[in-house]
Chain A
Amino acid sequence: MNSCKSIRELIDEADNPNLLPFEVSQHVDACRDCERFSTERAGLRNLLGSGLRVTAPMNFDAMLAARLAETRNRGWLSWLVPANYFRLGAATAGVAALVMVAQYSGLFSSSLTPSQQATVATTKSNQPAAQSTQPPVADAGIVADNHVQRERVTPIVIGPRVGSSRLAAVTIGRVRPRETVSSDDLGVVLVRGQNGGSDVQMPTVSLGAQPLLYVSAGKQQSSRNVGASF
Chain B
Amino acid sequence: MTAVTHQAQAIELSGSRSIEAANDHELLAAIRDGDEIAFQELVRRYRNPITNFVYRMLDDYDRAVELSQETFIRVYTSASRYQANYSFSTYIYRIATNLAISELRRRKRRKMVSLFSPYTNDDGEAVEMDPPDLNVLQDEALIANERRHAVARAITSLPQKYRAAIVLRDVEGLSYDQIAETLKLSEGTVKSRINRARNLLKEKLSAYI
Q: Which of B47, B72, B171, B209 contacts A40 (CB 8 A)?
A: B209
Residues from chain A with a CB closer than 8 A to the CB of B152 are 51
**B 136-171 to A, binary, CB cutoff 8 A, 1 in contact else 0:** 000000000001100110010000000000100011
A60 CB within 8 Å of chain B = yes
The answer to whether A44 and B176 have CB atoms under 8 Å apart is: no
B186 CB within 8 Å of chain A = no
A37 CB, nearest partner CB in chain B, Å? 10
Q: How large is the interface on A (under 10, 10 to 19, 20 to 34, 35 or more residues)?
A: 20 to 34
Knowing A12-B194, A13-B191, say if A56 contacts B77 (CB, 8 Å).
Answer: no
Interface residues of A in 43-102 (CB under 8 A from B): 43-45, 47-49, 51-57, 60-61, 63-64, 67-68, 71
- Chain A: which residue is nearest B145 at the CB level? A52
Q: Which of A47, A52, A57 contacts B65 (CB 8 A)?
A: A57
A51 to B176, CA, bound (A): 21
Q: Which of A43, A48, A60 has the most CB of B within 10 A?
A: A48
A67 to B43, CA, bound (A): 14
B196 CB, nearest partner CB in chain A, Å? 11
The answer to whether B69 and A13 have CB atoms under 8 Å apart is: no
Q: Describe A's contact surface by its main secondary structure.
A: helix
Residues from chain B with a CB closer than 8 A to the CB of A12 are 191, 194-195, 198
A9 to B191, CA, bound (A): 9
**A 4-15 to B, binary, CB cutoff 8 A, 1 in contact else 0:** 000001001101
Residues from chain B with a CB closer than 8 A to the CB of A51 are 147-148, 151-152, 171
B14 CB, nearest partner CB in chain A, Å? 21
A16 CB, nearest partner CB in chain B, Å? 10
Residues from chain A with a CB closer than 8 A to the CB of B77 are 71
A224 CB within 8 Å of chain B = no
Knowing A54-B52, A56-B48, A60-B65, say if A48 contacts B166 (CB, 8 Å).
Answer: yes
Residues from chain A with a CB closer than 8 A to the CB of B69 are 60, 63-64, 67
- Chain B: which residue is nearest A12 at the CB level? B195
A5 CB, nearest partner CB in chain B, Å? 11
The answer to whether A44 and B201 have CB atoms under 8 Å apart is: yes
A54 to B59, CA, bound (A): 11
- Chain B: which residue is nearest A42 at the CB level? B209
A41 CB within 8 Å of chain B = yes
A52 to B150, CA, bound (A): 12
For the complex of A and B, list the 4 residue pairs with the smallest distance between their C-beta atoms, beginning with the closest.
Answer: A43-B209, A48-B170, A56-B47, A56-B51
22 sample A-B contacts, Cβ–Cβ < 8 Å, listed by A number: A12-B191, A12-B194, A12-B195, A15-B175, A41-B198, A44-B198, A44-B202, A48-B151, A48-B155, A51-B148, A53-B48, A54-B52, A54-B64, A56-B51, A56-B68, A60-B47, A60-B65, A61-B47, A64-B43, A64-B72, A68-B73, A71-B73
Besides A55-B48, A56-B48, A60-B68, 10 other CB < 8 A contacts?
Answer: A12-B194, A40-B209, A47-B208, A48-B155, A55-B51, A56-B47, A56-B65, A60-B43, A64-B73, A68-B72
Where the two chains meet, the residues of B that have a C-beta atom closer than 8 Å to any C-beta of A are 40, 43, 47-48, 51-52, 55, 61, 64-65, 68-70, 72-73, 76-77, 147-148, 151-152, 155, 166, 170-171, 173, 175-176, 191, 194-195, 198, 201-202, 205, 208-209
